[in-house]
A and B are shown apart, each in its own frame.
Chain A
Amino acid sequence: MNDALFLHRIHFAFTITFHYLFPQLTMGLAPLIVILKTLAIKTGNDAYNKAARFWTNVFGINFAFGVLTGIPMEFEFGTNWSRFSQLTGGVIGQPLAMEGTFSFFLESAFLGLFLFGEKKLGKWGHWCAAFLVFLGSWLSGFFIIVTDAWMQHPVAYTRLPNGMFSVTSFWGLLTNSWALIQYAHNMCGALATGAFVMAAVGAFYLLDHKHDDYGRIFLRVGVVAGVIASMAQGFPTGDLHGKYLAKHQPPTIAAMEGLFKTETGAPMVILGQPDAEHQRIDNPIVVNKVLSFLVYGTTTAEVQGLNAFPKDRWPTNIPLLYFAYHIMVGLGTVMIAVMAAATFLLWRRMLYGARWMLWFILLCFPLPYIANTAGWMTAEVGRQPWLVYGLLRTTQGYSSNVNASNSLFTLLGYMGLYLMLGILFIFIMQREVFRGPEQTSRHSTEAEIQITTA
């Protein structure tokens, strides 16, 4: 493999993976904060307001880290993938610029309003501010998904004589059917992260016998949102996404499932390691006919294996794709199980006393992070060997004027910097969680007074 190409790929993969740890939580928490504000108004219980302030504070910290690590992403298209951005800027420049111009302004504006305007805005005004933060952060995500969806499934474009892509219909680009499905699937994932983190903090408070009232609120909201999000992530969004993938990127789904040869009544591989050289699965545990059923709705349908496609259209790293996909699905299943059990206990009014379950919920908070990351890896590794599926190969898109050594230099720089950022983040989050909602609330009211009297 070409050194420079490989390093440019790792460069983008590393920085985007680290970056997405933060937005998935902010996008997931935003609707939950709206729910807390709604409960505060409906019940008149101020504890919900304090809970909302606590999570807004967590949102704010994650938002800051998301912005800091997000800025490099916008520039990396140009620095590391210059031929790609030169050719496609006429299309995906639109949603990316919209993300920068619109949602970033709106998000930081509304967040400021929400953080510092509680006294001035009144309870409904403040609820609206929370809702706008939610809208802003979800809009932001939409523009990014539109960009990626165009690379997965290009629509509404024409190619100019010099090879450059140019958008022909703005609405066609924004309503790309792939984007809508991918967005729904991705936002369920983000919501799952928000819900699992909220429930985990709640479980921690109850296990620790501190801030018990808040622990119960966090668990209630987190578990209910968590069970809805994890189920919707599988069905219908994940299911639809899979069917769509089978239709438009058949070699990708064959590699994801480890299906080397075309089969009627194709089995689904639950466990096993793909051996790309000998084109077989080692140590397989399979369920017969399930893959045919999942993709086409009947157990007898024929599913195309990798052998149905020329090798230059195969994903370049089949084992990685296979594992990423299986990790996503496996953890997704565990998430549904944990949250379904917790919901049952909540319904039977046994959850707060069931310490074993609280332990489970606490320890499970990394799962949605891992599953979301693995899901994105499935999407992007699965898109290979293309940058724009079927049209532009990855080998044709990187900055050929930036050599491997320079790319490695900045990659190492980001690794070092992000290691420090990660440590700082954990340190700050740990403080906030230990301090608890009562303290956060006092601090944020003070900050508000300082701002408004400034």
Chain B
Amino acid sequence: MESIWFILVALMIVAYAVLDGFDMGAGILHLLIARTDDDRHTIVRSIGPVWDGNEVWLIAGGGTLYFAFPVLYAVSFSGFYLPLHIVLWLLILRGIGIEFRTHLANPVAASLFDGLFALSSFLLALFFGAALGNVIRGVSMGADQSFFEPLWTTLLPWGETGILDWYTIFTGLFTVIALMTHGALWVSHKTRGDIRDRASSLADRVLPVLGIFTIVGVPLTVFVRPATVRNYLEYPVLFVFPAVVMMTLVLAWKWNRSGRELPAFMASSTYIVSALAGVAAALYPALLPSSYGSQFDITIFNAAAGSYALRVGFIWWGLGMALATGYFIFLYRMYKGKLQQESMETQN
């Protein structure tokens, strides 16, 4: 039962990364590829109807984590106190940037909201990536299963760790690049004309950088935390994840070049899914490793709720997910294809 919930929580986090990932990506490249106010409006519109639904995966994931693994929820959220609250602020700022840009037609206000949207998206990706890096690296948590991470200490991924060190900054930048690619492929899929071409050519230039990050990332991770290879050596079938990661990277690059926008975006989605699945496979059964040794790890066994709670949860969670999935299929169907061009006169 605990393992099933590990997979379900991981699935929700992956769904969040893929879906809200392109929203953040669109935000990161927002000011890079848009030249006119029209362009910027188009980018915001490309995620307009879906972004809040995408963000709900974070809320649902957080709630599910709370109920299925209360110990992990409590220990990690208080331990990652500062970055978590900063992420929450950024989510609020991003929401304002997207939602109220269209409410206030004033160009000065629009610039402010554009800036908020872009900056908060960039920082969100950076912080989420650094958070992932922290989970992989482990935190300084002893037998009392309690820790508090300052924002940074010595910038080294050993001893008294902080949120930011060279490894987690690396994973943060890695995430920024990955989501930027993802967002560029989304924008090129949703738009036409100049803005589509600029998004596509940005993806074309960034994808090789992402390839380098991916290739460098693996040995760095093993170097920082050798235990990550244990599951892979024991179950070599897991190597399918890194294989898919490399394959989808190449495919995304190729399909983007040949103008097959939707397949390219799907390849990039699969890239994110398999990369995160690879990380989850390396961690299992740990949920949050301790940098002081694996005997202090928080695992699915010492963090899970009672078995009755997990069983009951399974019923309503399944029902909720069925409804949510149905809704998402409906939403993305209704919203499929390219955005219509729109002149500014119809706006306000």
Q: Is the CB of A399 within 8 A of B81?
A: yes
Q: Is the CB of A83 within 8 A of B74?
A: yes
Instruction: Tell me whether B323 is interfacial, beta carbon within 8 Å.
Output: yes
Q: Is the CB of A82 within 8 A of B317?
A: no
Q: Is the CB of B84 within 8 A of A75?
A: yes
* A175 vs chain B, min Cβ distance (A): 14
Taken residue by residue from 66 to 86, chain A's Cβ proximity to chain B (1 for < 8 Å, 0 otherwise) reads as: 011101101101111011111
Complex CA–CA separation, A74 to B78 (angstroms): 13
CB-contact partner of B92 in A69, A84, A90, under 8 A: A69
Complex CA–CA separation, A88 to B67 (angstroms): 9
On B, residues with C-beta under 8 Å from A are 49, 52-53, 55-56, 58-60, 62-64, 66-71, 73-79, 81-82, 84-85, 88-89, 91-93, 95-96, 99-100, 103-104, 146-148, 305-306, 308-309, 312-313, 316-317, 320-321, 323-324, 327, 331, 334-335, 337, 339-340, 342, 346, 348
Closest Cβ neighbor of A160 among chain B residues:
B306
Complex CA–CA separation, A85 to B63 (angstroms): 12
Q: Is the CB of A93 within 8 A of B74?
A: no
Q: Is the CB of A109 within 8 A of B327?
A: yes
Q: Is the CB of B75 within 8 A of A82?
A: yes
Task: List, in ascending order, chain B residues with CB within 8 A of A105's CB.
Answer: 53, 56, 60, 320, 323-324, 327
A75-B88 contact, Cβ under 8 Å, with A89-B305, A105-B323: yes
Q: Is the CB of A101 within 8 A of B63?
A: yes
A-B contacts, 29 of them at CB < 8 A, read A68-B92, A71-B58, A72-B85, A74-B63, A75-B62, A75-B85, A77-B66, A78-B78, A93-B73, A93-B309, A97-B67, A99-B63, A102-B320, A102-B323, A105-B324, A106-B323, A108-B52, A167-B306, A170-B312, A399-B78, A399-B81, A401-B147, A402-B148, A406-B81, A410-B85, A421-B92, A421-B96, A428-B100, A452-B334
Complex CA–CA separation, A417 to B331 (angstroms): 32
Residue among A100, A112, A424 with most chain B CB within 10 A: A100
Complex CA–CA separation, A428 to B211 (angstroms): 45
Q: Is the CB of B60 within 8 A of A100?
A: yes
Q: Is the CB of A454 within 8 A of B340?
A: yes
Task: List, in ascending order, chain B residues with CB within 8 A of A112's CB.
Answer: 49, 53, 331
A98-B74 contact, Cβ under 8 Å, with A89-B66, A166-B305: no
Task: List, in ascending order, chain B residues with CB within 8 A of A431's CB.
Answer: 103
Task: List, in ascending order, chain B residues with CB within 8 A of A446's CB.
Answer: 346
Q: Is the CB of A79 within 8 A of B70?
A: no
Instruction: Tell me whether A236 is interfacial, beta carbon within 8 Å.
Output: no
Instruction: Tell me whether A264 is interfacial, beta carbon within 8 Å.
Output: no
